[in-house]
Amino acid sequence: MARMEIEYLGKPEIDALALTNDEILDAIELGLIAAGNGQTVIEPRMHLTPDPAFNGHFNVLRGYVAPLGLAGVKIVGDYVDNYRQGLPSELALLNLFCPRTGAPKAVIDASGITDMRTGALTALGAKWLGPRHPKILGHVGTRGTSYWNIRLLDHLFNFEEIRVHSRRPESRDAFAERLSRDLGKPVKATADWRSCLEGADIMVEATRLSEPTPMFDRAWVKPGTLVIPYGTMSALPLDFTDSFDKFVMDDLGQMRAGHLGALRPHINAGKISEASFYAEIGEIAAGKKPGREADAETILFWHRGMSTGDIALGAAILEKARAKGLTQNLLYRDG
């Protein structure tokens, strides 16, 4: 048997790559187009809760992207109280494999990948579904993915006003300060949900509630708005989904599995179903269906995270790291 090695990239190597906004968006768009063209396999995520007392769980995402010639599995821990230990709430590894032989190809720190690919999916969804000239962004939540949501959205739209909110004042204030510094414009930390969201052109809800709690009032959503809720636990009252013009999702298969997600109570209550959804975002990316078709359309985009995005961004990171000589080769088998 031939000698087999695995390429490894940790956080220091990924940080050294200094991925640009466009590199991240381009990689995720490639994965979405492949999904829209039927060139991917996406398995619904699975959850593992080792012990409810630990206040966290693992997500396991699996997929295949044919144009990249890669299959992948990402395991990400989602532990709400990690901040108490000075740790990110989400820590992850992405494993890439040869889809023809099953041979492992690479192991990559995926904590940053999770944040970046989620932000890119939010931003690309807004690119195709948002108002033509959005001026105000309202964003609830300051979790790791939130930074990339706002950074990549502003990269595309250059908002006149950005508002952020989270439960803990110290968290939202520090978050607003970081964004203000990195974006070179004021970012306002608000004291409550309403002052953050009401009247915004694009609304993003990325909270970390401990249990489903109706916090997001449908009356705050004006006609023509794009709403992107993806909190782990639903913050939406059951009547929230009434009167939207379009429902779009990342992958409809994820409606069928798991008990978490912003729209899970609405699915369980029969308020929405697969028949309610207009399109998967990949269909829109690939030009199979139009995105926003009228200024007055009020659109709901629900994404839970696509394994194909992890694989596509992981592949782009690996390619750039190879070019810069930053990968480490680990011996897997020797004969």
Least confident of 126-135, 150-159, 170-179, 237-246: 237-246
- 75-98 burial code (b ≥16 CB/10 A, e <16): bbbbbbebeeeeebbbbbbbbbbe
Neighbours of 225 (CB within 10 A): 23
Q: What is the chain's mean pLDDT, rounded? A: 93
**Angle of the 144-157 helix axis to the 111-129 helix axis, nearest 10:** 40
pLDDT given at position 324: 96
pLDDT of residue 258: 65
Write down the pLDDT at residue 257: 64
Query: Which range among 80-89, 112-121, 259-268 shows the weakest confidence by mean pLDDT?
Result: 259-268
Calculate mean pLDDT across residues 113-126.
96
The residue extents of the domains of the chain are 3-113+308-334, 118-304
- Chain position carrying tokens 């690919």: 117
Q: Tell me, which fold does domain 118-304 have in CATH?
A: Rossmann fold (3.40.50)
Provide CB contacts within 8 A for 51, sequence distance 6+. Answer: none
pLDDT > 80? residue 92? yes
The pLDDT value recorded for residue 297 is 98
Q: Which range, of 27-31, 123-127, 274-278, 322-326, averages the lowest pLDDT? A: 274-278
| pLDDT attached to residue 305 | 82
H/E element holding 264?
helix 264-268
Could you tell me the CA-to-CA distances from 305 to 4, 42, 66, 114, 184 in Å, in that order?
Answer: 31, 11, 19, 8, 29
* Per-position DSSP letters for 89-154, written without gaps between them: SEEEEEEEE-TTT--EEEEEE-HHHHHHHHHHHHHHHHHHHS-SS--EEEEE--SHHHHHHHHHHH
What pLDDT was estimated at residue 273?
84
Percent of the chain with pLDDT over 70: 99
Distance CA 230, CA 226 (A): 13
pLDDT band at residue 31 under the 50/70/90 scheme: very high
Q: Do domains 3-113+308-334 and 118-304 have the same CATH topology?
A: no
Residue 223, CA atoms < 13 Å, CB-side half-sphere: 4
What integer pLDDT is reported at residue 210 of this predicted model?
73
- Report, as an integer, the average pLDDT of 94-117: 96
Angle between helices 307-323 and 21-36 (to 10 degrees): 130
pLDDT on residue 283: 97
Residue 233 has pLDDT above 80, yes or no: no
Domain 3-113+308-334 listed as CATH 3.50.50.60: no
Taking only the tens place, the pLDDT of each residue in 134-172 is 999 999 999 878 999 999 999 999 999 999 999 889 999
Q: How many CB atoms lie within 10 A of CB 267?
A: 16
Query: What is the C-alpha to C-alpha distance for residues 47 and 69, in angstroms, rounded to an integer?
Result: 26
| Bridging pattern class, strands 56-65 and 90-97 | unpaired
143 contacts 44 by C-beta, under 8 angstroms: no
Distance of CA 316 to the CA centre of its chain: 17
Query: Which of the residue ranges 150-159, 228-237, 278-287, 293-302 would you say has the lowest mean pLDDT?
Result: 228-237
* 295-328 pLDDT tens trace: 999 999 999 888 999 999 999 999 999 999 999 9
How far apart are alpha carbons 223 and 165 in whole angstroms?
22
Q: Report yes or no: 117 and 18 within 8 Å, Cβ to Cβ.
A: no
